């Protein structure tokens, strides 16, 4: 029987299991966005995952939206990532870099005064935290159509840089209300040019970016993540089934290494989601490996695979607190409890100091 512990081929990689580590921002890079030794340690501890996906990683200074988040546009960042991939590979793991542009989800005070950009001049909703405290999102600058090819080129370059850093592949962060999601959904995209209006136009940036990534490496090394039921940072669409159906069909046709779909979380559910069961809704139109995420445990994950709803399961928060999550799930061992106060902290506390199971602990 195929379950969470069965191998899976993704692109040209053989994963030993179907328990993936979901991309998570942990703010442990340097202030100028260079990956650190501590990050190498953290990821190496989690090398038992079928596949690790890194923190969202900015493709350009314009794409930065996290203080102490990593980037991949400069040589020192590539060198920092090379140390991470070396450690993960030495520990027997596999790792993709999640490449990302924040779009409107940023603040000028954390990016040398540069105003965030977006498909339309509509601010994100929700909280943004600077060292001085919570602030409102500013009104972003609407991107000119002539700027979009430059953004696509940044993703192609980031893909080449990830290859140079010896990653096993790249994942386009198309989810959670960031630039590509802002273009996709009609609540944040009011453009009247070839990138706005119809679903066909709104998916254009995502498809052009994915194509450019594939041209820069190949389809076997490029995955994409989407969150059809997320309302993060105020993204919304008048017809999510149609919009996400359109983009999923096009990404599927490109033969990407995998597609990750996020199920709605409790906060999304409060808003009254349009699509309750995302993976099930889109399953029949996806022929590439389908990864599902959000709120899974061993029982739910096994069920998703056994029932054929997904090919693998990505775990987020459980991976923060359990570096040896695969082993713990295999042995039905108790899980460490995550401490949310250190999710976005600095230093080793709550990052690399969660204990692994020891021989002394009963299985
Ligand atoms: C601290 C934290 C940081 C996150 N950062 C990212 C990110 O950088 N990129 C991303 O795609 N998702 C990010 N997420 C979402 C997770 O990848 C995942 O989708 C979410 O935690 C739901 O999975 P879970 O229920 O297994 O935790 C983050 C989640 C957490 C808790």
How many separate domains does the chain show?
1
At 182 the pLDDT is 98
Please write the tens of the pLDDT for every residue from 29-81: 999 999 999 999 999 999 999 999 999 999 999 999 999 999 999 999 999 99
Range of the domain at 23: 8-101+151-342
Q: What is the pLDDT of residues 119-129, one digit of tens each?
A: 999 999 998 88
Q: Which atom belonging to ligand 1 lies closest to the Cα atom of 55?
A: 8
Total Cβ atoms within 10 A of residue 354: 20
Span from the CA of 233 to the centroid of ligand 1 (angstroms): 14
Distance from the CA of 60 to the center of ligand 1, in angstroms? 21
State the closest ligand 1 atom to the C-alpha of 225, by its place in the atom list counted from 1. Answer: 11
What is the three-class DSSP state of 57? Answer: strand
Burial class (CB in 10 A: 0-12, 13-18, 19+), 72: buried
At 283-306, the pLDDT tens digits run 999 999 999 999 999 999 999 999
Strand partners, 14: 9
Is residue 357 situated within a structural domain? Answer: no
Which has more pLDDT, 266 or 27? Answer: 27
Residue 233 among the catalytic residues: no
- Residue 256 is assigned to a structural domain of this protein: yes
Alpha-carbon distance values, 17 to 50, 290, 291, 302, 333 (Å): 5, 14, 12, 12, 17
What pTM, to 2 d.p., does this model score? 0.97
Q: What is the pLDDT of residue 362?
A: 53
For residue 323, the model assigns a pLDDT of: 98
* Residue 200, in any domain of the structure: yes
Mention every residue, 6+ apart, whose C-beta is less than 8 A from residue 256: 210, 214, 219, 222, 223, 224, 288
- pLDDT for 46 equals 98
95 in any annotated domain: yes
For residue 75, how far is its CA from the centre of ligand 1 (angstroms)?
Answer: 27
Average pLDDT value over all residues in the chain: 96
Who has greater pLDDT, 360 or 324?
324
- Atom 6 of ligand 1, residue of closest alpha carbon: 24
Which residue is catalytic, options 178, 195, 233, 354? Answer: 178
- Stretch 82-110: mean pLDDT: 97
Residue-level pLDDT at 289:
98
Phi, psi torsion values for 155, nearest 5 degrees: -70, -35
Please report the atom of ligand 1 found closest to the CA of residue 66: 8
DSSP category for residue 71:
B
Burial of 82 from C-beta contacts in 10 A (0-12 / 13-18 / 19+): middle
Q: Tell whether 80 is covered by a domain.
A: yes
Q: How confident is the model at residue 161 (pLDDT cuts 50, 70, 90)?
A: very high
pLDDT at 361 over 60: no
Task: Using most ligand atoms within 8 A of CB, pick from 22, 35, 52, 342 the residue to mutate for ligand 1.
Answer: 22
33 within a domain of the structure (yes/no): yes
Indicate whether 347 belongs to any domain: no
Average pLDDT (162-169) is: 98
The answer, yes or no, to whether residue 348 has pLDDT greater than 90, is yes
Ligand 1 proximal residues by C-beta, below 6 Å: 22-25, 55-56, 98, 173, 175-176, 225, 262, 293-296, 315-318, 343
Task: Give the Cα separation of 179 and 182 in Å (integer).
Answer: 5
Residue closest via CA to ligand 1's atom 16 equals: 316
pLDDT value for 25 = 98
Nearest to 147 by CA among 184, 187, 103: 103
Write the pLDDT tens digit of every residue in 130-160: 989 999 999 999 999 999 999 999 999 999 9
Question: From the CA of 326, how far away is ligand 1's center (Å)?
Answer: 18
Per-residue pLDDT averaged across 311-326, rounded?
98
Q: Which two tokens stand for residue 193?
A: 């040019």
The predicted pLDDT at position 79 comes to: 98
- Residue with the nearest Cα to atom 10 of ligand 1? 23
**Does 304 map to a domain?**
yes
- CA 225 – CA 317 distance, rounded (Å): 17
Ligand 1 geometric centre to CA of 316 (Å): 5
The pair phi, psi for residue 80, each rounded to 5°, is -65, -45
| Residue 340: HSE in the Cβ half-sphere, 13 Å Cα cutoff | 0
Alpha-carbon span 67 to 112, nearest angstrom: 12
Cα–Cα distance between 337 and 320 in angstroms, integer? Answer: 9
Segment 316-326 shows an average pLDDT of: 98
* pLDDT at residue 360, as a whole number: 46
Name residue 110's beta-bridge partners: none
CATH, residue 252 = 3.20.20.70
Q: What is the pLDDT of residue 266?
A: 86
pLDDT in tens, 215-251: 999 999 999 999 999 999 999 999 999 999 999 999 9
Ligand 1 pocket, mutate which of 266, 296, 316 (most atoms under 8 A from CB): 316
Q: Which of 84-93, 192-201, 262-271 has the lowest mean pLDDT?
A: 262-271
């Amino acid at each position: 029987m195929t379950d969470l512990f069965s191998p899976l081929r993704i692109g040209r990689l053989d994963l030993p299991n179907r328990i993936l580590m979901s991309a998570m921002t942990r703010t442990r890079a340097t202030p100028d966005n260079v990956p650190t030794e501590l990050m190498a340690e953290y990821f190496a501890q989690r090398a038992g995952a079928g596949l690790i996906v890194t923190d969202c990683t900015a493709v350009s200074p314009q794409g930065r939206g996290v203080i102490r988040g990593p980037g991949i546009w400069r040589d020192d960042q590539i060198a920092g990532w090379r140390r991470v991939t070396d450690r993960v590979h030495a520990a027997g793991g596999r790792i993709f870099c999640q490449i990302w542009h924040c779009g409107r989800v940023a603040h000028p005070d954390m990016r040398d005064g540069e105003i965030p950009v977006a498909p339309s001049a509509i601010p994100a909703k929700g909280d943004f935290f600077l060292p001085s405290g919570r602030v409102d999102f500013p009104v972003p600058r609407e991107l000119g159509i002539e700027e979009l090819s430059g953004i696509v080129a940044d993703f192609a370059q980031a893909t080449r840089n990830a290859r140079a850093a010896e990653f096993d592949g790249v994942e386009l962060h198309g989810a959670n209300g960031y630039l590509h999601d802002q273009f996709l959904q009609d609540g944040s995209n009011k453009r009247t040019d070839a990138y706005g209006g119809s679903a066909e136009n709104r998916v254009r940036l995502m498809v052009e970016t994915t194509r450019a990534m594939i041209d820069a490496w190949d389809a076997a090394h490029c995955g994409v993540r989407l969150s059809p039921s997320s309302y993060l940072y105020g993204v919304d669409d008048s017809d999510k089934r149609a919009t996400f159906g359109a983009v999923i069909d096009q990404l599927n046709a490109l033969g990407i290494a995998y597609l990750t779909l996020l199920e709605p979380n409790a906060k999304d559910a409060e808003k009254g989601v349009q699509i309750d069961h995302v993976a099930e809704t889109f399953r029949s139109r996806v022929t590439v490996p389908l990864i599902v995420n959000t709120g899974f445990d061993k029982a739910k994950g096994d069920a998703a695979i056994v029932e054929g709803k997904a090919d693998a399961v990505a775990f987020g928060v459980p991976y923060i607190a359990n570096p040896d999550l695969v082993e713990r799930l295999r042995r039905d061992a108790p899980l460490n409890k995550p401490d949310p106060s250190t999710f976005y902290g600095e230093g080793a506390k709550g990052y690399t100091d969660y204990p692994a199971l020891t021989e002394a602990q009963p299985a």
